[in-house]
Structure 1
Amino acid sequence: MIKFDKVVKRFGANTVLNELDFHVKPRERVTLIGPSGSGKTTILRLLMTLEKVTSGTIQVNGDYLSHMRRGGDKLVPADEKHLRQVRKKIGMVFQQFNLFPNMNVLRNITEAPVRALGKPRAEAEKRGMELLEMVGLADKADQHPSRLSGGQQQRVAIARALAMEPEILLLDEVTSALDPELVAGVQSLLIEIARNSDLTILCVTHEMHFARDISNRVLMFDQGQIVEEGPPDQIFGEPSEQRTRDFLQAVLSA
């Protein structure tokens, strides 16, 4: 579903990803862990086309994301039209909720399906209410984001991402901006969504218990490279690499 082939990403002289080979299978749930600055969020930003690769290629469900074909098999950097088309397969929930403050909750969820997918507004609103019911906020449809708690706003952001009917859901530190008492509820919701859907999920988190519960596979990142990967029980129970052991000891004892 996701394939990085020798992807390099530099910011000036700083190489964040260094010839990264990386894949996620359909319906797999993969979590990226590692120290800040190791390149984890850059992977998500490349998939959302918020950043461009320096070199290498990215494919999503067999289609090139970073490039497109021209004149047969020649690959050239993707133009905006191509990026928009492939990006429709991907939804993302950010650290910050990024809701539209001038729109009520329901319209926050329905605006993109109407404008980007061409859905009739009545159909989008019906689906929007179903999603609000799923995230426990059906009674907040007419409220504006400023009237909601942080946890409620993040639930709206999750519903908004799902309203675009993505094949891939990206989660970027989705509970890091929440008060501690709100974290467990949002994490439980995401774990339930993950287990009861066919979504391919790629998650970045510093919450190790959440990583263990939501993932089929965990990847330890450091300095733009995969240090170690495996099922959660192996990574958190018996990591083989000293760098992974050091990181987990530091995070879990904090």
Structure 2
Amino acid sequence: MSHTPEPMVRFDGVVKRFGDNVVLDQLDFTVAPGEFVTLIGPSGSGKTTILRLLMTLERVSEGVITVGGEPLSHMRRGDRLVPADDKHLAAARRRIGMVFQQFNLFPNMSVLRNITEAPVHVLGLSPAEAEARARDLLELVGLGDRCDEHPSRLSGGQQQRVAIARALAMRPDVLLLDEVTSALDPELVAGVLDLLGDIARTTDITFLCVTHEMGFARQVSDRVMMFDHGRVIEDAPPEQLFTDPREPRTREFLQAVLDRS
């Protein structure tokens, strides 16, 4: 009998409200270990809120999020779940990395120190071990010769590569990508997307990606989820969703995105 692995990410009945505005509406979905899932949909449909909940930058209004079988939004107290305290959130957050639209690098630190800072202070690595890991990752992202530069001396594409290396330095189980090419000049987009595709194919990291780059989503994703008004209205392999979407709203959205590209 085949064994189905525990999902790496699970949303059970998740609701997120901002005041009277319901951004996520009874959201249920799972992501398997090592799976690359892309979230698409119009602005305001809840995609980035999902990433912010996973990064514990926001708290759920209702429902439970689990990562690797352990509650993220809650913690166990005896036989019940209670809202997570700051200590639990800090520990859970270590399993999750994020690459943002804006690179969020420390401008006063070298490239190398941008990558070593969190592994030393959060993971407790020795400076020597953190530096060795950082140098390996900078080679991976094609910036092995830029260790001593400051971010202001790098192009946008290079800064985003450093941000990717910084996220990988924490050895996350889950890596979140939030429109990581939206701040880049068009000629730099392909290089960053190619790098992410290579990382996805050669690691066991679980990816959740928000993007308007439909070609990238089609090429790299295992599944694509279409969001509208805080709900998943279609969830399918990329070839099916992009070639023959089931929902009229999905077809309408894809047409609008492709017309702009």
Superposition TM-score, scaled by structure 2 size: 0.96
Q: What is the alpha-carbon distance in structure 1 between the residues aligned to residue 173 and residue 188 of structure 2?
A: 27
2:3 aligned partner: none
Q: What is the one-letter code of the residue matched to 2:168?
A: L
Residue 23 (1) aligns with residue 21 (2): no
The percent of aligned pairs where both chains have the same amino acid is 72
2:134 aligned partner: 128
Residue 253 (1) aligns with residue 250 (2): no
How well do the aligned residues superpose, as a CA RMSD in angstroms?
Answer: 0.5
Q: What is the one-letter code of the residue matched to 2:135?
A: M
Structure 2, gaps ≥5 residues long: 1-7
Q: Aligned with 1:139: secondary structure?
A: coil
Structure 1, gaps ≥5 residues long: none
2:4 aligned partner: none
Q: What is the one-letter code of the residue matched to 2:180?
A: V
2:250 aligned partner: 244
Q: What is the one-letter code of the residue matched to 2:54?
A: L
Q: Aligned with 2:136: secondary structure?
A: helix
Residue 61 (1) aligns with residue 88 (2): no
Residue 228 (1) aligns with residue 234 (2): yes
Q: CA deviation at 1:42?
A: 0.2
Q: What is the one-letter code of the residue matched to 1:188?
A: D
Q: What is the one-letter code of the residue matched to 1:121?
A: P
Q: What is the alpha-carbon distance in structure 2 between the residues aligned to residue 213 and residue 119 of structure 1?
A: 36
1:202 aligned partner: 208
1:33 aligned partner: 40
2:155 aligned partner: 149
2:179 aligned partner: 173
Q: What is the one-letter code of the residue matched to 1:58?
A: I
| Equivalent of residue 80 in structure 1, options 86, 94, 102 | 86
| Equivalent of residue 14 in structure 2, options 3, 7, 18 | 7
Q: What is the alpha-carbon distance in structure 2 between the residues aligned to residue 21 and residue 168 of structure 1?
A: 18
Q: What is the one-letter code of the residue matched to 1:235?
A: L
Q: Over residues 135-175 of structure 1, what are the superposed CA-to-partner deviations in whole Å (9 max), with x where a residue is unaligned?
A: 00011100000110000000000000000000111000000
| Equivalent of residue 119 in structure 1, options 125, 130, 136 | 125
Pairs aligned (count): 253
Q: CA deviation at 1:38?
A: 0.2
1:211 aligned partner: 217
Q: What is the alpha-carbon distance in structure 1 between the residues aligned to residue 70 and residue 211 of structure 2?
A: 27
1:48 aligned partner: 55
Q: Aligned with 2:27: secondary structure?
A: strand
Q: Aligned with 1:156: secondary structure?
A: helix
Q: What is the alpha-carbon distance in structure 2 between the residues aligned to residue 152 and residue 96 of structure 1?
A: 12
Q: What is the alpha-carbon distance in structure 1 between the residues aligned to residue 235 and residue 60 of structure 2?
A: 23
Q: CA deviation at 1:86?
A: 1.0
Q: Aligned with 1:138: secondary structure?
A: coil
Q: What is the alpha-carbon distance in structure 1 between the residues aligned to residue 161 and residue 97 of structure 2?
A: 14
Q: Aligned with 1:253: secondary structure?
A: helix
Q: Aligned with 1:127: secondary structure?
A: helix
Q: What is the alpha-carbon distance in structure 2 between the residues aligned to residue 210 and residue 13 of structure 1?
A: 35
Runs of 4+ in structure 1 off by over 3 angstroms are none
Q: Over residues 175-197 of structure 1, what are the superposed CA-to-partner deviations in whole Å (9 max), with x where a residue is unaligned?
A: 00001010000000000000011
